[in-house]
Amino acid sequence: MFRPKIPTMPAPTGIVTPPAVEPTAIVHHTPAPIPVAPAAPARPTVQLTPGTALALVGAGTAVVLVVGAVLVSMLLAVAVTAASVAVCAVVLRSLLNHQPKR
């Protein structure tokens, strides 16, 4: 009662034509074994000598100083630009305020 009923394939009613390609025998080939390369050795650990540590500290300090100098120069450029715009605004304001009195 609970088992599904699978429909049966109906028999062909028309003229049956043979397939255009004749099936051939299937030959299974066993693939050749693939040679496995030996596992690569683990990466060597890095040994920090006092000279190497000093070089790393020096390089880090140089990078921090260069980045700091670039950021300070950009801030200075913005400050100079803002000051010049403010001076121009004050001059224009004074010129426009004194115009009708002349």
Token digits for 39?
């596992």
Residue 12 to residue 81: CA distance in whole angstroms: 91
Token digits for 62?
């140089």
Question: Which residue type sits at 68?
Answer: G
Q: Average pLDDT in the 15-22 region? A: 69
The highest-confidence range among 7-11, 38-42, 49-53, 55-59, by mean pLDDT, is 55-59
Give the pLDDT confidence of 67-102 residue by residue, as tens digits: 999 999 999 999 999 999 999 999 999 988 876 665
User: Which residues make Cβ contacts (< 8 Å) with residue 39, sequence separation at least 6?
Assistant: none
Q: Which residue has the higher pLDDT, 93 or 39?
A: 93
Q: Give the pLDDT score at 102.
A: 53
Q: What confidence category does residue 47 fall into, taking pLDDT thresholds of 50, 70 and 90?
A: confident
Token digits for 76?
């200075």
The span from the first CA to the last CA of the chain, in angstroms, equals 111
